[in-house]
Amino acid sequence: MAWVAAGSVMVSDWHRSPESREYFSKILHKKKRRKFGLLEAPVMPPHLKADIVRYKVFLSGKSGVGKTTLAARLAGLDMPNIHYETTGMETCAVFWPVKLRESGRILFFHFHLWDCGENATRRFDHMLPSCKEHADAILFLFSFTDRGSFEDLSSQMSRITEPSDRLVRLVVGTKFDLFMHTDVTERDITRFQEVLGVPVFRVGGDVSGGFGEIAPLLNALAENLWHQDCMHTSTSVPTVPSNSGHIGPEIIV
Ligand SMILES: Nc1nc2c(ncn2[C@@H]2O[C@H](COP(=O)(O)OP(=O)(O)O)[C@@H](O)[C@H]2O)c(=O)[nH]1
Ligand SMILES: [Mg+2]
């Protein structure tokens, strides 16, 4: 399979272990998710120091599929009830602590999510290239209530990426809470995963406050990004742009 199996690089369900509590408390504020400005980051006490690794993640999908809602869901922000096309581009920061299985080392992943309105990408030629520039991962979205958005996935993927791009690709099916009205069956999903070798995650509904709904997707993103960097650094000399703030797995010694 093209992707990393859950739990092979990182401790899965770490958010449920008592040991993780102090780390997860840094991304909470009054039992809700803490909102981080672009220059802010969780600060741990010296004895629990955890490095931060930064990645850019682009959300791709047609208008109304649920990109802005997914970004809000992952960042713990209020989710929009009514759809209005995102004007231009919005970004937000998501911090997510993980524990590496082999070394036992704890890291904060910083996902910088880029969400761009579809109209903006059509009207302004530079939008899509700037969303994709230095992106480490792309989440391709479809909606369970819109079969067309599912059928368009593979052409969307080949339209905006090259097979040689060093990118983690994950697919997210939104509006899974409306599965009564689903246009996309389990068989469709299984087939898609087999043929394209890209995992599909399901999201939908209200976030009840816990990390359970978002943990599988954020862990998979972290795990695949880390694996991608490890593969890259083991086959070539790591090139870290000095201004990117990106400290990938080369910090491991
Ligand atoms: N029930 C349900 N509605 C959703 C979900 N995701 C998005 N929506 C709704 O779908 C509409 C479009 O979502 P939005 O995130 O603005 O789409 P975007 O154009 O891709 O950014 C909004 O009315 C959202 O409330 C979901 O998972 N479940
Ligand atoms: Mg939007």
% residues pLDDT > 70 (the chain): 91
Name the residue at shortest CA distance from atom 15 of ligand 1: 66
Question: So what's the pLDDT on residue 238?
Answer: 46
Q: For the segment 20-52, what is each residue's pLDDT rounded down to a tens digit?
A: 999 999 999 988 899 888 789 999 998 888 999
64-89 pLDDT, tens digit per residue, is: 999 999 999 999 887 777 777 777 88
Nearest atom of ligand 1 to the alpha carbon of 63: 19
Q: Which of 105-114, 171-180, 237-246 has the lowest mean pLDDT?
A: 237-246
Ligand 1 contacts CB of residue 132 (under 6 A): no
Q: Which ligand is nearest to the CA of 60?
A: 1
**Closest residue to atom 6 of ligand 1, CA basis:** 66
The rounded Å distance from CA 174 to ligand 1 centre is 8
182 in contact with ligand 1, CB cutoff 6 A: no
The residue contributing the CA closest to ligand 1 atom 9 is: 66
Ligand 1 contact, 50 CB (< 6 A): no
Instruction: Enumerate domains of the chain plus CATH numbers.
Output: 46-235 (3.40.50.300)
Cβ burial 9-47 (10 Å sphere, 16+ → b, else e) = bbbbebbeeeebeebbebbeeeeebeebeeeeebebeee
Q: How many residues are listed for the chain in this entry?
A: 253
**Ligand 1 centroid from CA 60, angstroms:** 14
Ranges 124-128, 203-207, 226-230, 237-241, most confident: 226-230
Neighbours of 96 (CB within 10 A): 22
